[in-house]
C-alpha cells in the first residue's frame, strides 16, 4: 500500500469526538429535561456589580417563511437558445477563430447572435 493510500484510509476513519467548534455556537440545555432553562456559554450573565445582565433566552422570532422570496433557478443555455448548424466561409472562420482564441467561453455565440440581431433590425423585424 502506498503512502497516499494509507493517508487516505486514515482520513476516512470516523472520528468519535464531536466537533467542538460547531457545538460552541449552539445554546445547550442546562438541568433536567423538565426544566426549560437554556444558557449560552458565549454570553456573560454574571452580576458582579449588582446590575441586571440577564438575557432572555426564551424569546421567539415570528417569521413568515412564505413571505420570503425564493430565487428562481438560472435557466440553462439549452432553455434560452437553439442550436443551428450552418456553413461559414473559410476566410471568415479564420477571422472568427482569431477573435475568440483568447476570449471567454460563449464568445462565438455572442458574435453570431449580435450579427443576426443587427441583420433583422435592418429589415425592421426586430425593434
Quote the CA–CA distance of 12 and 8 in Å, as a whole number. Answer: 6
**Cα–Cα distances in Å, from 9 out to 12, 15, 16, 18, 19?**
5, 13, 16, 20, 20
DSSP code for 95: H
Contact 42, 24 (CB under 8 A): yes
Helix (H) or strand (E) holding 10: helix 3-12
Residue 36 clears pLDDT 80, i.e. is over it: no
**Mean pLDDT across the chain, nearest whole number?**
76
Give strand ranges (E) for 18-98: 28-29, 38-39
Cα atoms in the Cβ-side hemisphere of radius 13 Å centred on 66: 0
Can you read off the three cell numbers belonging to residue 94?
479564420
Residue 4 has a pLDDT of: 75
Q: How confident is the model at residue 79 (pLDDT cuts 50, 70, 90)?
A: very high
What residues are paired with 39 via a beta bridge? 28
What residues are paired with 38 via a beta bridge? 29
Q: How confident is the model at residue 93 (pLDDT cuts 50, 70, 90)?
A: very high
Residue 107 has a pLDDT of: 92
Residue 83 clears pLDDT 90, i.e. is over it: yes
Residue 7 clears pLDDT 70, i.e. is over it: yes
Can you read off the three cell numbers belonging to residue 96?
472568427
Amino acid at each position: 500500500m502506498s503512502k497516499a493510500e494509507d493517508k487516505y484510509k486514515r482520513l476516512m476513519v470516523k472520528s468519535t469526538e464531536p466537533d467542538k467548534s460547531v457545538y460552541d455556537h449552539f445554546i445547550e440545555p442546562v438541568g433536567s429535561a423538565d426544566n426549560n432553562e437554556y444558557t449560552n456559554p458565549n454570553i456573560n450573565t454574571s452580576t458582579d456589580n449588582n446590575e441586571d445582565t440577564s438575557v432572555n433566552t426564551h424569546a421567539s422570532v415570528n417569521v413568515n417563511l412564505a413571505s420570503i422570496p425564493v430565487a428562481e433557478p438560472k435557466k440553462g443555455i439549452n432553455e434560452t437558445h437553439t442550436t443551428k448548424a450552418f456553413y461559414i466561409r473559410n476566410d471568415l472562420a479564420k477571422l472568427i477563430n482569431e477573435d475568440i482564441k483568447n476570449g471567454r467561453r460563449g464568445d462565438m455565440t455572442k458574435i453570431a447572435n449580435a450579427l443576426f440581431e443587427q441583420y433583422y433590425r435592418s429589415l425592421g423585424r426586430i425593434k
